[in-house]
Amino acid sequence: MKKIAFFDAKPYDREWFDRQNTKYDIRYLETRLTKDTAQLAAGCDAVVAFVNDNLDAEVIDMLYNLGIRVIAMRCAGYSNVDFKAAYGKINVVRVPAYSPYAVAEHAVGLLLTVNRKLQRAYNRTRDFNFSITGLTGVDLHGRTAGVIGTGKIGRAFIDICKGLGMRVLAYDVYPAEIAGVEYVTLDGLLTQSDVISLHCPLNEQTKHMLDKKAFAKMKKGVFIINTSRGALIDTEALLSALNAGKVRGAGLDVYEEEAELFYEDNSGNIIKDDLLALLISRPNVVLTSHQAFLTEEALGNIAETTLKNLDEFFSGRYLTNEVCYRCKLGKASESCHHNRKERCF
């Protein structure tokens, strides 16, 4: 039986993987994967990792030396993987889609919460404080949503925005044909949107795409929603824009420096990250702990696809959901074997 080192395992991961797993001996490890914990994969045949595991060149080399030849990411994003270091050594597979609705619905939830100040209303009524002063929001109907990245999640988000009666603008490096959506330049989106929601991957081009310059171009009173990756936003620039009243509210499921903090109970610890403390202290910021994916449907699909990805690897087949540094570059990279339905290497 093949042994799997499953890093950053939480009770809900176990529940959904154990329901479907019949073939593998899964070693659930509560710790994140880092250079200090990589050794725990000794004796295993594969590593299953998640969004805040560290898969830099050093860790990849350590895993390779332990005999690991496949890393199965149980997530869609892969900005934490050094693909150049893995190329030729370890095949990397992922779960490209498990429930775009889960993430899009959470993004809309953050928008509705931060607009109508539901987090504050909830706290007030729990204390029998029935004052509604200071809780005024805006009608979203008729306002403009600017969607950056119109892939699976962006489109699900767009559908909900249309249902709310919003006008939808979009920016994507690969524009598509989507009824009722007007593609504009990034600047066009920044200057015209009342709500800006991020649904593109994190890479060299998109890091800090919402920086000081971008915030300067936005409408006063814009809402910022980020369920993609924290580093898409320069947090200091966001804080300045919140302080200046330029940003009316921010709904964030991700944070640039989340890796050491998210998914753990840090309530008894002194948080040394002052930027995060400032963000959380703002009454017009709602921050959740990278949980947009967390629905039963998504967890079931993540387990199913990850196990299928491992089956493909161990039976020597083409890896449907493989990513390497060449094919992850996108449609411009025709040279990767993956495009010929072969393993990337």
Q: Which amino acid is at 124?
A: R
**Smallest separation (angstroms) from ligand NAD to the CB of 251:** 11
- Residue 205 interacting with ligand NAD (CB under 6 A): yes
- Residue 83 interacting with ligand NAD (CB under 6 A): no
Q: Measure the CA–CA gap between 331 and 142, rounded to whole angstroms.
A: 35
Nearest to 336 by CA among 92, 41, 97, 19: 92
Q: Find the helix or strand (DSSP H, E) in which 183 lies.
A: strand 181-183
Which of residues 76, 111, 285, 344 is near ligand NAD by CB under 6 A? 76
The answer to whether the Cα torsion of 266, 299, 161, 176 is positive or negative is positive
Angle between helices 296-314 and 11-20 (to 10 degrees): 60
Are 317 and 338 in contact, with CB atoms under 8 Å apart? no
DSSP tag of 33: P
**Smallest separation (angstroms) from ligand NAD to the CB of 208:** 12
**Smallest separation (angstroms) from ligand NAD to the CB of 227:** 4
Residues, the chain = 345
- Residue 225 interacting with ligand NAD (CB under 6 A): no
Contact map string, positions 26 to 45, toward ligand NAD, x by CB under 6 A: --------------------
Q: Which is nearer to ligand NAD, 13 or 253 (CB)?
A: 253
- Residue 210 interacting with ligand NAD (CB under 6 A): no
- Among positions 102-141, residues that touch ligand NAD (CB under 6 A) are 103
**Smallest separation (angstroms) from ligand NAD to the CB of 125:** 28
Which of residues 174, 296, 317, 320 is near ligand NAD by CB under 6 A? 174
Question: Which residues form the catalytic set?
Answer: 229, 258, 290
- Order of strands, edge to edge, in the sheet holding 70-73? 25-28, 3-6, 46-49, 70-73, 91-93, 322-323
Pairing of strands 247-252, 322-323: unpaired
- Residue 199 interacting with ligand NAD (CB under 6 A): yes
- Residue 201 interacting with ligand NAD (CB under 6 A): yes
Q: Could you list the residues that contact ligand NAD (CB under 6 A)?
A: 76-77, 97, 100, 103, 148-154, 171-174, 199-202, 205-206, 227-229, 253-254, 290, 292-293
